[in-house]
Structure 1
Amino acid sequence: MRKARIIYNPTAGRELIKKNIAEILQQLEQIGYETSAHATTSEGDATIAARIAVERKYDLVIAAGGDGTINEVVNGIAEKPYRPKLGIIPAGTTNDFARALHIPLDIMKAVEVITNGNSMHLDVGAANDQYFINIAGGGKLTELTYDVPSKLKTMIGQLAYYIKGIEMLPSIKPVHTIIELDDRVIEEDIMLFLISNSNSVGGFEKLAPNAKLDDGYFDVIILLKSHLADFIRVATSALRGAHLNDKSVIYTQAKHIKVTPTDDMQMNIDGEYGGQLPGEFRNLQQHIEFMVPQEFINEQKNNNQTR
């Protein structure tokens, strides 16, 4: 019999996963899975639980919670000789990865995506000794993700980041940075860099509009030295996906990236602190098999045919 393990954050989404766990287990049992659940208790617990699921060779692991829970589960699976299929039940604040995969934000509809059985191998990012599903980055502006109060993020979403960015900008100094991209080197004073795996980042669904989750490439966005007027122009353009041609922005794609700042710069991994730079970023193409809606599979096929 096939085995499934649900790794869930019991506090996520107003405890909706916790309240619905019996029904989720039942739906999986009905399609032939011997199913069990693990409730996370602290930061990093989901990674440990995922590693155990890998060791026990579960056929399916389900990450239920926000992007942080999904990130931890991926960190327990990535680059292991055996990697189970991975399902997603979103219950976070922004749910960037679920949005990128067109997974419904309704819990039981997300379970239906898993029970329908459609899957696709998707890229995962590696940053030094960590892994990411949405984005890695650096620069003082990326650090605002730590400072935006969770209640504000819940109430006004991406606008919270925009407000915080404007508030911080006068005190932010650009950092001279060397960025090596495959066979190209960029050396500039920058406000931030973003290495995007998916097209949905921090609630901005058009920040990396050309990103594909199975092509082996990252979308790289670099914001050069900017004043307040430049930042407002770029941020406003980003809301509609029109920022990539802005004079203050460098946009490119790459599989392998090295970032070396000449001053202190923190690394941001899927919206959380990821240590200090320098850093090396690798795209692990089609590395993990995710349960996804048929709609997403059709969209990816169409995108690949038109490239």
Structure 2
Amino acid sequence: MQKRCRIIYNPTSGREALKNDLVEILNILERAGYETSAFATTPEPNSARNEATRAAEAGFNLIIAAGGDGTINEVVNGIAPLKHRPKLGIIPAGTTNDYARALKIPRDNPIAAAKVIAKGNTVKMDIGKANDKYFVNIAAGGLLSELTYSVPSEFKTLFGYLAYLVKGAELLPRVKPINMHLEYDHGVYDGKASMFFVALTNSVGGFEQIVPDASLDDGKFTLIVVKTSNLLEMMRLITMVLNGGKHISDPNILYVKTSKLVAKPVDEKMMINIDGEYGGDAPMKFQNLKRHIEFFANTKDIPDSAITEIGEDALDEAKKHFVDGVQELDESDNIKLDK
């Protein structure tokens, strides 16, 4: 039976360049053995999520989220609750494209991203659950939430990640800590903090050193709590992030691995950001769903330390290359190997 693929694309993501490449993307996937069709999301709420659920229940083998991190989040929310989940591919067309960055998928070339999918290498990725919502990259409370909500969507489209940096510089002097109660695997944090976040990958807001030891499939979040709101200390921490992730041992940072987190406000409201969008208010429970969804990825460029197991397709491909290599060695050097 021929495999089927459904591309769910956001026609307004980024600078709207994706539509120009759509025909070539369809051809690449058809040549890879998929009967491929496309669905353009609409302004209606949950358009991508609803189509992802429909396609999964209709038996599609592969769903591709083509757009920004928001489109990926919607597609994941469409299939994560299902018992039988298709594989997912990503064609980036957004602003920061954190998830594509973590999977080493080309972020400025949709055709190259489609070729990564056609190659067939996959990783079974952890995803997060926050109460009844799912996320693939990060959930946060505090400064990061305020920063994301304060950047107008048209600024994100025109100026990309620069828009976040400009808005962040504007907001830092106004940041104040709030009292938080955070329960994690082996401890509790009670005290003031300017923000906390739980991360699933090493790419947070375009920075790849915030979680320098990230694993994509070990069943653990990285919990980071920023205890200070002092402007000079915050700037120093940012410098440490950029200087190889040295912030993780700073006394103003709590940095731990955990499979779950319960976040509760103490004396004021605490909004929760889920993959860059408002996800509700605390109290909120976060749970890591280990190796829950299989994503196509550029596995050769992902550090070995970030993956504990590769997907079945990638394993088959590795075995094929090993057998081919043995045959070439046997024929060229006349070396016989024990079977």
TM-score, normalization: structure 2? 0.84
Shift of 1:226: 2.3
CA distance in 2, matches of 1:33, 1:113: 14
1:240-298 deviation line (CA, Å, top 9, x unaligned): 3221122211111100110011120100001111111111000001000111123146x
Work out the CA distance in 2 between the residues paired with 1:156 and 1:269. Answer: 22
Max Rg structure: 2
Aligned amino acid, residue 254 of structure 1: T
Between the aligned residues of both structures, percent identity stands at 50
Partners of 1:167 and 1:207 lie apart in 2 by 21
Assess, with a 3 A threshold, how the Cα gap between structure 1 residues 138 and 36 changes in structure 2: closer, same or farther: same
Alignment of 1:79-98 (within 5 A): 79-98=81-100
Deviations 1:6-64 (A, max 9, x none): 00011223222211111111211122211111000124211001000111011000000
Match of 1:112 among 86, 110, 115: 115
d(CA) in 2 for partners of 1:238 and 1:159?
18
Question: Structure 2 matches for 1:95-244, cutoff 5 A?
Answer: 95-105=97-107, 106-150=109-153, 153=156, 158=161, 160-240=163-243, 241-244=245-248
Cα distance in 1 between the residues matched to 2:77 and 2:65: 12
Q: Please state how far the C-alpha of 1:232 moved relative to its aligned partner.
A: 1.1
State the AA in 2 paired with 1:148: V
Flag the 1:50–1:303 CA change in 2: closer, same or farther, 3 A: closer
Native 8 Å contact 2:5 2:37 kept in 1: yes
Structure 2 match to 1:257: 261
- Structure 2 Cα separation of the partners of residues 166 and 119 of structure 1: 38
User: How far apart in 2 are the matches of 1:151 and 1:238?
Assistant: 28
Provide the rounded CA distance (Å) in 2 between the counterparts of 1:264 and 1:243: 28
- The alignment yields a C-alpha RMSD, in angstroms, of 1.9
Structure 2 residue ranges without an equivalent (≥5): 310-339
Shift of 1:159: 5.2
1:34-45 equivalent positions in 2, closer than 5 A? 34-42=35-43, 43-45=45-47
Greater alpha carbon shift after TM alignment, 230-239 vs 1-10: 230-239
* Closer, same or farther: CA 11–157 of 1 in aligned 2, 3 Å: closer
Q: 2:281 is matched with which residue: 268, 271, 276?
A: 276
Aligned residue for 1:10, secondary structure, equals coil
- The range that moved more, 200-209 or 154-163, is 154-163
Q: Give the aligned residue type for 1:8.
A: Y
Partner of 1:286: 291
For the Cα contact (< 8 Å) 1:8–1:37, is it kept in 2?
Answer: yes
Give the secondary structure class of the aligned counterpart of 2:194: strand
Alignment of 1:24-39 (within 5 A): 24-39=25-40
Separation (CA, whole Å) in 2 of partners of 1:159 and 1:236? 17
Question: 1: distance between equivalents of 2:250 and 2:229?
Answer: 12
For residues 158 and 18 of structure 2, the distance between their equivalents in structure 1, rounded to whole angstroms, comes to 21
Q: Distance in 1 between matches of 2:191 and 2:140?
A: 16
| 1:63 match: secondary structure | strand
Q: Provide the residue aligned with 2:330 in structure 1.
A: none
Matched letter for residue 133 of structure 1: V
Query: CA 1:231–1:155 in structure 2 vs 1: closer, same or farther (change >3 Å)?
Result: farther
CA distance in structure 2 between the partners assigned to 1:155 and 1:243 by the alignment: 31
Aligned residues: 304
Which amino acid in structure 1 is aligned with residue 205 of structure 2? G
Between stretches 144-153 and 17-26, larger displacement belongs to 144-153
